[in-house]
Amino acid sequence: MTLDEWVTEFDRGLRSIAGVSRMSRPMPSAPAPTPDAPAGEQMTLAERAHAAGLMRVNHVGEICAQALYQAQKLATRSPSLKAAFEQAAREEEDHLAWTAARLKELDSRPSLLNPLWYAGSLAIGFAAGCFGDKASLGFMAETERQVERHLDAHLESLPEADALSRAVVDQMRADEMAHAKAAADAGGVDLPFPVRALMRTASKVMTRTAYYV
């Protein structure tokens, strides 16, 4: 990578950790309220706290995504694969900005452990990339599939009244599905079961911690 590219990636990492993210797409909007679907902000304090916890988890997921894609770009020598990781990272940066904005609207905050999540994901992403492009793409595909399942669970768990968070999560889910398909179509290999199981375990630790901290 050139010096300019290193500077760009360093800047992106700092912005991700600091919560200064740029969105290229507007934040998804909630459907207009109806008598059967109340306005999104009509939630109890407990519901708002639960929604904030889930959105904090999603925000941490996007911090990790930025680090993973950055590391995988560093590890590959393929220009086309670098471009694919860059495109995915830009879309994930939208997610990062959306979840940060939603946390503010819910009068909550990001995880206090964001630097730790970022550093850990950077190391994992680079390690995956060192096993070759097919393994790196397979890691990307499996990561996105696991994120998709966790977003499905959030759509079931979010308060019915929180239509805005639901709209954000629904669009994130669609993007993650597209990223997983793109990685598989580009030649990503299926990861061994022990690796997939370890990824799921690490994800559970992260989500349970980030919900509160």
Q: How far is CA 22 from CA 35, 54, 77, 94, 108, in A?
A: 35, 21, 27, 7, 20
**Choice between 35 and 177, residue whose per-residue pLDDT is larger:** 177
- Whether the pLDDT of residue 170 is over 90: the answer is yes
Two tokens at 45? 């304090």
DSSP element (H, E) containing 111: none
- Tell me the pLDDT tens digit for each residue of 59-118: 999 999 999 998 898 889 899 898 888 888 888 899 999 999 999 999 999 999 999 999
Cα 163 from Cα 160, distance rounded (Å): 7
Residue 95 burial (CB count, 10 A):
25
- Tell me the pLDDT tens digit for each residue of 23-58: 889 999 877 665 555 554 589 999 999 999 999 999
Per-residue confidence (pLDDT) for residue 21, from 0 to 100:
74
- Identify the DSSP state of 187: T
Q: For residue 8, which amino acid is it?
A: T
Contacts of 58 (CB under 8 A, 6+ apart): 95, 99, 151, 154, 168, 169, 172
pTM for the model stands at 0.88
Per-residue confidence (pLDDT) for residue 37, from 0 to 100:
52
Cα 88 from Cα 151, distance rounded (Å): 17
Residue 166 burial (CB count, 10 A):
20
Length of the chain, please?
A: 213
Domains and CATH numbers, the chain: 42-212 (1.20.1260.10)
In this structure, are residues 92 and 65 in contact, taking their beta carbons and an 8 Å threshold? yes
Two tokens at 25? 């797409």
